[in-house]
Structure 1
Amino acid sequence: MTKTIDAAARGRTKRRAWCAGLALSMAALLAAGSARAEELNVYNWGEYINPAVLKKFEEETKIKVNLSTYSSNEEMLAKIQGGATGYDIVFPSVHMQDIMDKLGLLEKTDIDTYEGFKNIEPSFLRAKSDPKGEYCLPYAFGSVGILYNRKVLGKDVTGWKDLLATVKAKGLKFTLLDDMREVLAVGLILNGHKVNSTDPAELQQAAETVIAMKPQVAAFTYDARPMVGAGDVAAAHFFIGAMIDVFGNPKDLGFVIPEEGATMYQEDICVLKSAPNKQNAIKFLQFYTRPEIAALNVSQQTNGTPNLPARQLTPDNIKNSKEINPPQETMQRLQIFQDLGPGIRQLDRVWTKVKTAQ
């Protein structure tokens, strides 16, 4: 009898132990699932956010940030459309935001109702698909101009015509961005046309202007900054973020917004409809409305910020830079890209001619 009772007791003990073990295992799985949920997967342009910003967000929220990068709007869109579902937030240019909205890829965040949204200058609500800021948060802006080595050139340059005349006379080289719209925009601007033109004749004229430059073009590349800094090329078609190099070597390097005009870019922070961590993504948008956070980013990025009070918190060399924060008369010479719809095919055709011309 005693043996029977002992056996029963042992059975109950084993069952209780098994149940307790199962409960602990389930708790561990739930905890692991919870830990995985406390993540934010950021998909951004290469080197387009200060790592200190991401670190501060992690410290404050205990949300782990995973950063992946892309080099163009088109690369990012192709990956999202190709089925990549792990990303939470992306940083499209304004025209790409409009395209992504048409494709139903963006989540409505109502960030415009958050108290910190009052810090955003209204003129930066540029997306036609999001005039109130219900979806995306304006992130950064800047111009695309000329980074140059004045030691190599022997002078400062004022714009494209000045640069072209100088490199031809001295047998020097410069680089252009490996970007269809940015490069064709240079050709369009030099011929007095708008950068969003889809007129075949105007685009052909722009292409011929760029093709005529090619003997002096060392490469079409996004990696020109070290080449200019080392003096391997005289100048580069580049983004305002290159001011970080100018500040590091103001004696030899300069950046100019061409007197003929230039393009302006603006990226916004958007949450993907497929985002696995939507609430964490919205927390990041809210976090980035804080002036001290936007200023921390700008201090390392040297882009302009749509966050008006943040500008006063940036270092003096950034705050007072007419390149980073252009005066109104310069802003009037800047043009921003729009979604061209089917008209983009016209650009594709002439871009092929530019890249293949000998």
Structure 2
Amino acid sequence: MKHLLSATAMVLASATLAAAEGELQLYNWGNYTSPELLAKFEAETGIKVTVTDYDSNDVALAKVEAGGSGFDLVVPSASYVPIWVEKGLVQELDLSKLPNHKNIAPEWMDVDWDQGRKFSVPWQWGSTGIAVNTKIYGGDINTSAVFLEVPPELVGKINVVPEMIDIVSLATMYVGGEPCSEDPEVMKKTRDVLLAAKPNWISMDYGATERLSNGDWAASVNWNGSTMRVRLNTNGDVQYGYPKEGYPIFMDSVMLLQDAQNVEEAYKFIDFIMLPENAAMISAFARYANGIAGSDAFMPEDMKTAPEVVVPEEHKAAGKFLPTCRGKGLEYMTAIWTELQK
């Protein structure tokens, strides 16, 4: 999840996607890849990495599925990992080339979306909640009502990130249903509450880190790591809320594309990011937790107690990993999202 689209891709190599020895093409969420990490990787291996940004799971999937993308690695969210595997878009990993695979924390190894981590390795994980400037709105921020029944102080000042599964799932949980529900009554309530709320939003955009930091927005549905960055930028004015009705937990993981051209370089990068000190560099930049054991020792001190990263005990029970939506559940979700985009 999770993830903000930056104005420009971080490019440490040629802008072309041509395969060449000593190059690597990483397709990742915007504003999510540490420049320091890439510089260290290049210094140690001589491999130059080009990062191309995407702004949603669906955009990334469509781009690669169309063919000829030229990318080697992609970083989808947990609920999308099975889709990439089923469509044959990614390779099973050769674990003999990944000695650091053993560093994956036990709780992130036998995950529902990739048992034994045969196709993916952890990048970062976090949650989707509500970021609010508490100088503008002093009410309860631990509820999806902030964006679904927008309080007067936030009308025309609240953004909603355009990530379908997060937003529709938040709304579904708000009306009492479960993510990917196939119950037509539940999904009608989901549709109605979203469509009624939309006129009170200022936008559906990804630039929350920048726009909340500079005061363009007073609130946004947002991801926890981005919100921590905003809090630090605003001297604590912007706080992160965990919707009590239910909120998504995500993990984004690195996968090797089936048509990758720079395979050996890709394996070196995958193994590199599973070293604890390197995983900590990823987290230090984007401010999300990672799934590598031992990385805590290298993490910034302010992340070890940050309420956006260390979920307060009273909010843990409301968080849940989103399933991979299929069948009627996916149909309902897609139809609602399509209508919401109009």
TM-score range, shorter chain: 0.7 to 0.9
Distance 1:304 1:275 in 2: 28
Distance 1:163 1:43 in 2: 30
Correspondence 1:112-151 to 2 at 5 A: 114-125=98-109, 128=112, 130-151=114-135
Larger gyration radius, structure 1 or structure 2: 1
Shift of 1:99: 0.3
Counterpart of 1:277 in structure 2 is 262
Distance 1:170 1:288 in 2: 40
Query: Please, which moves more after superposition, 118-127 or 86-95?
Result: 118-127
Q: Is the 8 A contact 1:108 1:135 kept in 2?
A: yes
Counterpart of 1:195 in structure 2 is 179
Distance 1:42 1:124 in 2: 22
Counterpart of 1:21 in structure 2 is none
Distance 1:57 1:340 in 2: 36
Counterpart of 1:339 in structure 2 is 324
Counterpart of 1:36 in structure 2 is 20
Counterpart of 2:83 in structure 1 is 99
Correspondence 1:1-358 to 2 at 5 A: 36-111=20-95, 114-125=98-109, 128=112, 130-154=114-138, 157-161=141-145, 167-168=151-152, 171=155, 173-242=157-226, 243-327=228-312, 330-343=315-328, 344-356=330-342
Query: Please, which moves more after superposition, 93-102 or 242-251?
Result: 242-251
Distance 2:251 2:85 in 1: 16
Distance 2:103 2:21 in 1: 30
286 and 48 in structure 1: CA distance in 2 versus 1, 3 angstrom threshold: same
Seq. identity, %: 27
Q: Is the 8 A contact 2:110 2:116 kept in 1?
A: no
The SS at the match of 1:273 is: coil
Shift of 1:165: 6.4
> Which runs of no fewer than 5 residues in structure 1 stay unpaired?
1-34
Distance 1:245 1:188 in 2: 27
Shift of 1:171: 5.0
Distance 1:350 1:155 in 2: 29
334 and 239 in structure 1: CA distance in 2 versus 1, 3 angstrom threshold: same
Deviating beyond 6 angstroms after TM superposition, the runs of 4 or more aligned structure 1 residues are 163-166
Q: Is the 8 A contact 2:34 2:281 kept in 1?
A: yes
Q: Is the 8 A contact 1:244 1:302 kept in 2?
A: yes
353 and 67 in structure 1: CA distance in 2 versus 1, 3 angstrom threshold: closer
The SS at the match of 1:349 is: helix
Shift of 1:100: 0.8
64 and 348 in structure 1: CA distance in 2 versus 1, 3 angstrom threshold: same
For residues 192-224 of structure 1, what are the alpha-carbon distances to aligned partners after superposition, in whole Å with 9 as ceiling and x for unaligned?
Answer: 211222322211111111222223211111123
For residues 310-343 of structure 1, what are the alpha-carbon distances to aligned partners after superposition, in whole Å with 9 as ceiling and x for unaligned?
Answer: 1232112111123213256634321222222333
Q: Is the 8 A contact 2:25 2:49 kept in 1?
A: yes
Shift of 1:298: 0.7
Q: Is the 8 A contact 2:125 2:252 kept in 1?
A: yes
| Structure with more of its chain in helix, by fraction | 1
Q: Is the 8 A contact 1:265 1:336 kept in 2?
A: yes
319 and 110 in structure 1: CA distance in 2 versus 1, 3 angstrom threshold: farther
Counterpart of 1:14 in structure 2 is none
Q: Is the 8 A contact 1:140 1:306 kept in 2?
A: yes
What amino acid is the match of 2:70?
G
Counterpart of 2:11 in structure 1 is none
Distance 2:142 2:315 in 1: 13
Q: Is the 8 A contact 1:175 1:236 kept in 2?
A: yes
TM-score normalised over the length of structure 1:
0.83
For residues 259-281 of structure 1, what are the alpha-carbon distances to aligned partners after superposition, in whole Å with 9 as ceiling and x for unaligned?
Answer: 22211111111111111011111
What amino acid is the match of 1:351?
W
Q: Is the 8 A contact 1:110 1:133 kept in 2?
A: no
| Aligned-CA RMSD value | 2.3
Query: Please, which moves more after superposition, 264-273 or 252-261?
Result: 252-261
Query: Please, which moves more after superposition, 81-90 or 296-305?
Result: 81-90
Shift of 1:77: 1.3
